[in-house]
Structure 1
Amino acid sequence: MRPQKVLDKEMLEGLTKVFREKGYEGASLTDLAQATGLNKASLYHRFPKGKQGMAEAVLSNVHDWVQGNVFSILQDTTLPPDRRLKDGLNQISILYSGGEETCIFRALSMQVGLDLFAEQINDGMQLWLTNFTKVGLAFNFEKDVAYQHALQTLVAIQGGLVLARIMNDSNIFKQSLQNIENRYLSRV
């Protein structure tokens, strides 16, 4: 058996970059092949479902990264809640390159992508809400207050990303993350 020329990690990074930049509809097979260093036939060999399979693999890969690098911190009851929050927000900054990258949920939730990936995107958003609600509960917020903080956290992250990209100013996203931290800590 021949060794793979393109490692899965590199391939997924290339696919993620294209989907983040062009969305599902805008990403052509040529773009995806160029980003991975594979020809179209090799892409279809690895992803028999074509572009949809590639996007599903990207969603799964991002989910795994978030689970291992963000949610695991937010759930770590050996850390005080303020440390969990701060470290989790730092990892979120890494995920989005300090506000330079588009959220993969946003990129794949336009037009056809929303129809194809609505369940995965909704499930992913629910996990974000659940994990930030747990942080609020660790701060001893009432359950409904913890949930409202979690919801506002998602709004601030997504809104900060959109504005940072539109206005070409990553400081907007960084300030959104700081505002999230301040909002949680001001309730303590």
Structure 2
Amino acid sequence: MRPQKVLDNEILDGLSQVFRSKGYDGASLKDLSDATGLKKASLYHRFPSGKKEMADAVLHHIQNWVEEQVFFELLNEENSPNLRLQKGLNEIRLLYNGGKEICIFRALSLQSGLELFANEINTGMQKWISTFESLGLSFGLTPNEAKNEATKTLIKIQGSLIVSKGLDNIEVFENALQEIEMTYSKS
């Protein structure tokens, strides 16, 4: 068997960059091929169902990373709630490259992508909310307060990414993360 010329994570990272920057409908096979270093035939060999399967693989890849990095830190009860929050926010900074990258949920929720990925996007967002809800409980919030703050936190993260991109100012994202930290720390 021939060794793979491009590692799977590199392929998924390349696909991710295209989907994040162009959305599902805007991502052409040429774009996806160029980003991965694979010819179109090789892409179809790895992803026989085509672009939908590629996007599914990207969603799965990013969600696994979020669970292993972000959610792990936010839920790690070996650390104090403040330390968990700080470490989790640092992982969020990495995930979004300090506010320079848009969220894959946003990228795939435009045009026909929303119809194709609605369940995955909904499930992913629910996981973000439930994770921050658990963190809020560890800060002493009531269940209702924890759920409300978790939803606001997701809105702050997602909204700040959009505004950061639109204004070409990553400080908006950083300020949102600092506001999140202050909000939970005051609890």
The normalised TM-score by structure 1 is 0.98
Tell me the equivalent position of 2:176.
Answer: 176
Tell me the equivalent position of 2:152.
Answer: 152
Tell me the equivalent position of 2:125.
Answer: 125
Return structure 1 stretches of 4+ with deviation > 6 angstroms: none
Identity %: 52
AA at the equivalent of 1:159: G
1:54 aligns with 2:58: no
Question: For 1:76 and 1:175, how far apart are their aligned partners in 2?
Answer: 24
Question: For 1:184 and 1:10, how far apart are their aligned partners in 2?
Answer: 36
Q: Which structure 2 residue ranges, 5 or more long, are not aligned? A: none
Q: CA deviation at 1:74?
A: 1.0
AA at the equivalent of 2:143: K
The normalised TM-score by structure 2 is 0.99
Q: CA deviation at 1:121?
A: 0.6
Structural mapping, 1:109-124, within 5 Å: 109-124=109-124
Q: CA deviation at 1:143?
A: 0.1
AA at the equivalent of 2:130: T
Question: For 1:78 and 1:6, how far apart are their aligned partners in 2?
Answer: 37
Tell me the equivalent position of 1:6.
Answer: 6
Q: CA deviation at 1:40?
A: 0.5
Q: For each residue in 1:103-150, what CA deviation from the matched residue of structure 2 results, as whole angstroms up to 9, or x when unmatched? A: 000000111100000101100000000000000000111000000110
Tell me the equivalent position of 2:21.
Answer: 21
1:108 aligns with 2:108: yes
Q: CA deviation at 1:185?
A: 1.1
1:141 aligns with 2:136: no
Secondary structure of 1:5's counterpart equals coil
Question: For 1:157 and 1:90, how far apart are their aligned partners in 2?
Answer: 13
AA at the equivalent of 1:169: N
Q: For each residue in 1:77-106, what CA deviation from the matched residue of structure 2 results, as whole angstroms up to 9, or x when unmatched? A: 111101111110110011000000010000
- The total of aligned residue pairs comes to 187
Tell me the equivalent position of 2:97.
Answer: 97
1:163 aligns with 2:171: no
1:30 aligns with 2:30: yes
Question: For 2:2 and 2:55, how far apart are their aligned partners in 1?
Answer: 26
Question: For 2:31 and 2:111, how far apart are their aligned partners in 1?
Answer: 19
Q: Which structure 1 residue ranges, 5 or more long, are not aligned? A: none
**Aligned Cα RMSD in Å?**
0.5
AA at the equivalent of 1:68: E
Question: For 2:54 and 2:7, how far apart are their aligned partners in 1?
Answer: 15
1:83 aligns with 2:83: yes
Question: For 1:133 and 1:39, how far apart are their aligned partners in 2?
Answer: 44
Question: For 2:185 and 2:84, how far apart are their aligned partners in 1?
Answer: 12
Q: CA deviation at 1:75?
A: 1.0
